[in-house]
Structure 1
């Protein structure tokens, strides 16, 4: 008994000391938020021919951690018993556990949010509250692009979480997560905001924190010190298969931007303009005279797409969509995606050293498209010119016609400094800084007249993709 008293006293002392040192006390937030957070359990129907265990219940964890995730104990998921692997005469379907996750209510009438990957492929979805009540949920709508799903349970008077703003977050601020890691319901962890606008190639500006997040936390809320939802926990970055201090959350604004559409129609309609884009580096910005290394560098324009009709060209840098500046390249697809198809907007582009304003009518995004680029080095017998470490020749007329370009020079061999900048054999150089290239001789003259202390901007065509690279000539 004395031991218990001593431990209790030590805990109380630690709490008082933490508060005196300026550390937050999360108890009040947890008491208010916890009833609105749920554990999500999913099942899927599989054929008995799938094996004695059906589908791998750790499939969702591998989405979260990556394909190399190993479940506790090093198990590899369901395995066929070599002594009893004969299929049944009559194939049967049965429900098997598929995975676990988290979610949270956003209204008192039973609407809740979670991740798309938590419920993807599920036949039945069950949510369990902190008071042990369990409800069967239905998917109102799910959006793979934002990894957000809207669910509904038939109940009233549910506790729900207030919606905050990820835009108000700052690095170093305290945040907390509530979820069900590995099925351990109502687990609370905390940490600080490590970075904002973290890009992972998903077109989402993730919130990076050091809050401990594990499989099962997916879909749970990231809360600020007011108890408001600022994000939805979605991913971690790990090399070991376990939490390593980097977790990523979807900003709540991104999630709420699709909720109304999901509630109304079960799907999300997005806009598109038909461009392939990339980042603008500092060297490229300096080479092409762009005041700041911002915007979206156009690598390709889809024929007859809205951008093509508006006059956007490969090599342009889109700096503004409507009245909103493009700071990061990933801002553009997000802003365009949020625009209703049929809307006419303005595009501000940087071309040949000056800004240009174009008008574009946004179309509907049907599906993501990925361009296959397979450049083939040409076989040439023309006189070869060497400049910036590249051996170049004129571009043949049939190649120009096929690629819908005029002029340019083709690279037949390359070494430093051009190779260091990313130029490869088979590439076509279309422009140097703001000057279009028509021949190898002109290319040499243009380069010779440049300030050698500044990087040389080359507009490079690789297959169907166009990009800018910056070649440094100074030694």
Structure 2
């Protein structure tokens, strides 16, 4: 169970300095470093007003016979309770750290201050200062606050998270369970973790214990630089089991800079939907290795569409950066300057191609609705008798009829072959193909009738291919599925 509540973040298992003795690259004590860093770490307190009942709105009154004296008694009782009861507030605690002492900028997690009516920053000496939310980003779970005070502040710099190696020592300071200024130490357990928290997951994993109130707190290297923002834990019980995650500083730096300059993020946008390249997909495409990001669909009028990128292309390099796995592409694109023309290398129909793409802005595309499905086209009405079903790959396939369009909610403009049955235990079924799916392409060639599908399967077998690639539309959601051949 992944926990990312407003009261969670990472602290690292205490007691580890003893393990450092005898090692030349670790200190015998973290005391000097902790003393230097503690003043820069703050506690975050938020409050949110509980929703109030509208005038005249009462809690549910017990049911009594009409005209009963108890009915009027309970109405009067609840009315007095509502008038006398003060407005309640929900409160929560988190952590943060100062990055600019002169201007009072503080970094924390978005989920720490999300929906808060009031945010208070508490310094090491218990000074309370009301904070302004400069900007926040739910996709990376980061927020930037600003405080105004004559109180002297201490700031800490961002470090290079890419330089951190598995096994490196780290120090964390936070506000677990409201116990401000708690210092703990541990190591980096893993890098580049994807925990399905957002589209840009690239977490540092640590053996740290994460407890309530540490969210938004800094993780330091031994130079006193912030290399991570403690954010989440993996826990079946809600308590720490030693698997914690922090946002890497190299991701945070760019987001924080944008929040500071614009009050919001401004990310690069390519305009494609992508999926992972499995070994079966790589084989069916003739791709030498299962790497890159497979383009499942292209947004009409988006940067990719304008540059000629097509569904079925595999993006292997973007702006000179290798795309070894699917989830790297969104991060690389997001970090690219808006309106920059960049080279993109794609694998298309057995060979490498290069195109130039002018990067768009993700937020502008979201606001304009460009990320929605493309415009519908009017399709000619289906005529004639009901077509005969054909079986292939353990699937029963039929040409699309008006009845099937209605039954499976198939869009009027969509052309292809509809799956009406999936054989139990078939490879296609194991790959997730379902009745109602529409096969749009087979082997990256369009199909219109079941015979097209069986013909392309037979041709692939004759060519000695081990699998064949299907492009499937499921209620407007396009994805590629590689089906091994020679199996039902």
Structure 1 residue 180: Cα displacement: 0.6
Aligned to 2:57: none
- Structure 1 match to 2:58: none
| 1:394 equivalenced with 2:396 (yes/no) | no
CA distance in 1, matches of 2:467, 2:178: 54
Quote the RMSD (CA, aligned, Å): 3.4
- Judge which range, 208-217 or 451-460, deviates more: 451-460
Query: Residue 236 of structure 1: CA displacement?
Result: 1.2
2:118 matches 1:124: yes
Give 2:105's match in structure 1, choosing from 103, 111, 119. 111
Contact 1:273 1:362 in 2 (8 A): yes
Give the Cα separation in 2 of the matches to 1:433 and 1:45. 57
Higher relative contact order (CA 8 A, sep 6+): 2
Distance 1:152 1:14, change over 3 A: closer
Indicate the larger mover: 362-371 or 305-314: 362-371
Residue in structure 2 matched with residue 256 of structure 1 by the alignment = 253
CA–CA distance in 2 between the matches of 1:330 and 1:153?
36
Q: Give the match for residue 95 of structure 2.
A: 102
User: Deviation string for 1:274-320 (max 9, x for gaps)?
Assistant: 32222222221222122232222222323333333333333332223
1:269·1:364 contact (CA, 8 Å) conserved in 2?
yes
**Structure 1 residue 197 displacement after superposition:** 1.2
Once the two structures are superposed, residues 320-373 of structure 1 have per-residue CA deviations (whole angstroms, 9 ceiling, x without a partner) of 32222323322222233333443333333322222333333333323395779x
- Measured against aligned partners, the alpha-carbon deviations of 1:69-125 in whole angstroms (never above 9, x if no partner) come to xxxxxxxxxxxxx99765766699857352100011112222221111111222322
Match of 2:41 in 1: 37
- Return closer, same or farther for 1:258/1:47 CA change in 2, 3 Å cut-off: same
Q: 1:191 to 1:28 in 2, by over 3 A?
A: same
CA distance in 2, matches of 1:253, 1:118: 21
Q: CA deviation at 1:402?
A: 4.9
Judging changes above 3 Å, is the alpha-carbon distance between structure 1 residues 84 and 258 closer, same or farther for their aligned structure 2 residues?
farther
Whether the 8 Å contact between 2:17 and 2:30 is mirrored in structure 1 is no
- Which residue in 2 is equivalent to 1:65? none
For the pair 1:455 / 2:467, whether they are aligned, the reply is yes
8 Å contact from structure 1 (residues 271, 363) kept in 2:
yes
Q: How does 1:56-455 map to 2 (within 5 A)?
A: 86=79, 96-109=89-102, 110-155=104-149, 157-201=152-196, 202-203=198-199, 204-366=201-363, 367=366, 381-395=386-400, 402=411, 408-415=416-423, 416-450=426-460, 454-455=466-467
Residue-pair matches, total: 425
Q: Any idea what SS the aligned residue of 1:106 has?
A: strand
Structure 1 residue 419 displacement after superposition: 1.0
Task: Tell me: CA distance 1:165–1:44, structure 2 relative to 1, closer, same or farther (3 Å).
Answer: same
SS at match of 2:158: coil
The 8 Å contact of residues 125 and 138 in structure 1, kept in 2 or not, is answered as: yes
Cα pair distance change 1:87/1:237, threshold 3 Å:
farther
What is the distance in 2 between the residues matched to 1:307 and 1:347?
A: 10
Q: For the structure 1 residues 86 and 287, does the alpha-carbon distance in structure 2 shift closer, same or farther, using more than 3 Å as the test?
A: farther
**Deviations along 1:121-151, whole A, 9 cap, x unmatched?**
2232222222333322222222222211111
Q: CA 1:381 to 1:187, structure 2 compared with 1: closer, same or farther past 3 Å?
A: same
Unaligned runs of 5+ in 1: 1-12, 51-81, 373-377
CA contact (8 A) 1:102 1:219 kept: yes
Please state how far the C-alpha of 1:213 moved relative to its aligned partner: 1.1
2:353 aligns to what SS in structure 1?
strand
Residue 463 to residue 346, structure 1, CA distance change in 2 (3 Å): farther
Instruction: Output the TM-score relative to the length of structure 2.
Output: 0.77
